[in-house]
Structure 1
C-alpha cells in the first residue's frame, strides 16, 4: 500500500454523519499464546508518552471530523483496562472537547478480569464508559493456562459481580471454543457457567492457530496437536441452539445479544460505515480512504508528536499525518466486495435494494456467478429482499467470502 499524505484539515462535504471512534491501547502484562493482535508486553517505558500522543492524534484528526457525530467509542487492545483512571479521564475529556459525542453514545472498553477491581470499574463508569467487553475465554483453569490467560474462573465471577455493582448494565463476555484437547462437555460447562452471569452480549469464537503466535510454534514443533475442526463445528451448532433457548439472538457469525443489545460499534464495521481509528496499529475507513497507523507504539508516539509539532509551527492548522503508515482510496469494485462480505457476516445478510441504492448496480450484476454457485451448494439463500448465509454457510463462510473478493491485478 502506497503511503499517502492525509491532511488533518480536510473536511468531508456530506454534512453531519455518524462516526465510530476506535482507540487502540497496545500494552499487555503478558502476550497470550494465541494472540496475533497488535499488542506488546515489556513496553512500560512507552506508557507515559502514549496517552499524550493519543490526545495529539485526536487533535490532528478533529478538523476532519467536525461534520460528524460520534455514536460509538471503542477502546481496544492490548489491554485498555491497564490504563489508569486518571489517564482514562484525560482521554475522555479530550474526546469530548475535540469531537461531537452523541448523548447516547455506546462507549465500550475491552478488559481482562484481572484488572477489574470495584474501584477501577466505578471510575470507568464515572467517566462515561457504559459497556464492558471482558476476555473470559474459558471457565476451566487448565484451558486458561493453555491460552496463557492470567485470570481464574473465580476472578471472572468476581469481576462480573463488581461490574454490576458499579452500574454496568451492558456486558459482553468473549469465549473461545474448539480448543486443543477440547471436548463438547467442557465447552458446555463453560457456556452454562457464563449464561448464569446473564451478560447482555456474548462473542464465541473458534480457536485459530495464527502464524507467528507462540501457540503456532508449539503446534509446529509437535508440542501440541491441531484443533479439531469437526468438534468445533459441533460445538458451534450446539452453541447456536443453547443461546437461542437462553434468550439470545444471534445477529452475526460469532455474536449473540439480548434483544436491543447488539454491539453498535461492531455493526459499523459490518455495514461498511465510516470509522476512525487512533493509536498504534489502528485502522480506519474515513473520508473515503482506508488507512492504517504504524504498528510500533514507539514509532507511533514519535510520528504523532512530529506531526503535532508541525501543525503547531505551521500557523495554518495543517499537517501531514505521519503516523498513517499506509492508505488507499478503494475503487468501486473493492467497496462492493467489502460491503457484500461484511454484510454477509450478519444473519440478516445484505438487503438487495440497499446494495443497489449504494452502488447503482444489483448484487447479481456485481456477484452473479459466485452467488449462484454458493446458492447451489447450499451456502447462500435468497429471499424476496436480501441475500444471506444459510446455517451451513455460517460454518463455511470463508469459502463464500474468498469467492467474492476482487480479482487481483
Structure 2
C-alpha cells in the first residue's frame, strides 16, 4: 500500500563560509560538485525501487548551497527524480539559495525543472550586519533575489532572517523585516543566530524579545500567520516540507550527515563525504540506525 513520501537532497558546498556558520560545508569546485552530483544520483537510484508508486509530496534541496552545483547537474538530478519517483503536478519542490547566487539563468533552470518554491537566505537587510557575520550577500543581490521570483511567476518564495546578530538592535531587525515584507515574500523564517563554540561576541540578548514581539505584530498586520515556531506564511503558502518533518510520514534524505525516517525508524547517513562520494550505493557503509533517546 502506497504512503506519502518526502525527499530531501543535501548539497554541502558553499562558495564562502560565513563567520558564524555552524554547518559542515566544503569548498565548491567543478570537480567535487560533479562527483557529488553523480553520487546523489547513484544513491537515489539505489533507494527508489523500495518506494515505487509512493506519491512524493515534497522535494527539498538544502545545504550548504544547492546552486553550487552546475545548472546541468541540477537539471540532470531533477529529471532522474521524476523518472524514479511518483511526482504529482502539485508536488512542492523547494530550493534553498543565497541571494548572490540567484540570477535570471537560475530562474530559467528552476522553471524548466519544476521548482515552485525558493528559500532565500537573506540573513539581514543591513550592510553592517552582513559584514559582521561575514556574509557574501549584498543589498543589490538581496533585492534582485526578491524581484526575480515575481518576474518569473514563481508560486512561492520565502526569506530567512537572523536575529541576535552581534550589535543588532530591535530597530535594526525591524528594518530587515520590513524590507522582506515590502517585496511580498510568501513566507518568512526567523532564526536565532547560533554562535560556534569558543566564539565570543557581544550579542544584545535583551533586544531579542522586542524583535520577536515586533515581528509578531507586523507580520500579523500584513496577513501572515505563525504555523510553526518562527515560521510565518500567508495562508496556503506554508512550507509543506517543514510540516512533513514534524509528521511521521516517510522522509528520505540523501547526502552525508542526513537522517532518513521510514515507517517510524530513523537511520543516519555517513558524515564522511569521501566515503559517500565513493560508495553511494553501498548501504552497509552509508547508513547507521538512530536510537531514540
Could you say which residue in structure 2 is the equivalent of 1:256? 232
Q: Distance in 2 between matches of 1:266 and 1:83?
A: 23
Correspondent of 1:209 among 189, 195, 213: 195
- 1:282-361 maps to which residues of 2 (within 5 A)? 282-304=258-280, 307=282, 320-324=283-287, 326-328=288-290
What 5-or-longer segments of structure 2 have no aligned partner? none
What do residues 344-375 of structure 1 show as CA deviations (whole Å, max 9, x unaligned)? xxxxxxxxxxxxxxxxxxxxxxxxxxxxxxxx
Could you say which residue in structure 2 is the equivalent of 1:66? 52
TM-score by length of 1: 0.69
Could you say which residue in structure 2 is the equivalent of 1:242? 218
1:193 lines up with 2:169 in the alignment: no
Correspondent of 1:231 among 207, 212, 223: 207
Q: Does structure 2 conserve the Cα–Cα contact (< 8 Å) formed by 1:46 and 1:298?
A: no
Q: Distance in 2 between matches of 1:287 and 1:249?
A: 31
Q: Does structure 1 conserve the Cα–Cα contact (< 8 Å) formed by 2:28 and 2:68?
A: no
Q: Distance in 1 between matches of 2:272 and 2:132?
A: 27
- 1:77-88 maps to which residues of 2 (within 5 A)? 77-88=63-74
Moved over 6 A (4+): none
TM-score by length of 2: 0.95
Shift, 1:67, TM fit: 4.7
Q: Distance in 1 between matches of 2:268 and 2:150?
A: 36
Q: Does the residue aligned with 2:60 lie in a helix, a strand or coil?
A: strand
- 1:3-402 maps to which residues of 2 (within 5 A)? 15-41=1-27, 44-211=30-197, 216-217=198-199, 219=200, 224-225=201-202, 227-304=203-280, 307=282, 320-324=283-287, 326-328=288-290
Report the aligned-residue RMSD: 1.6
Q: Does structure 1 conserve the Cα–Cα contact (< 8 Å) formed by 2:37 and 2:69?
A: no
Q: Does the residue aligned with 1:161 lie in a helix, a strand or coil?
A: helix
Q: Does the residue aligned with 2:4 lie in a helix, a strand or coil?
A: strand
More relative contact order in 1 or in 2 (CA 8 Å, sep 6+)?
A: 2
Q: Which structure has the larger Rg over C-alpha atoms?
A: 1
Q: Does the residue aligned with 1:158 lie in a helix, a strand or coil?
A: helix
What do residues 178-234 of structure 1 show as CA deviations (whole Å, max 9, x unaligned)? 2111111111111111110010010011222232xxxx43x1xxxx32x23321122
Q: Distance in 2 between matches of 1:164 and 1:100?
A: 28
Shift, 1:42, TM fit: 5.4
Greater percentage in strand:
2
Q: Distance in 1 between matches of 2:127 and 2:272?
A: 32
Q: Distance in 2 between matches of 1:297 and 1:145?
A: 30
What 5-or-longer segments of structure 1 have no aligned partner? 1-14, 308-319, 335-405
Q: Does the residue aligned with 1:17 lie in a helix, a strand or coil?
A: coil
What do residues 13-36 of structure 1 show as CA deviations (whole Å, max 9, x unaligned)? xx1110110000111011112222
Q: Does structure 2 conserve the Cα–Cα contact (< 8 Å) formed by 1:249 and 1:256?
A: yes
Assess, with a 3 A threshold, how the Cα gap between structure 1 residues 107 and 321 changes in structure 2: closer, same or farther: farther
Q: Distance in 2 between matches of 1:48 and 1:265?
A: 26
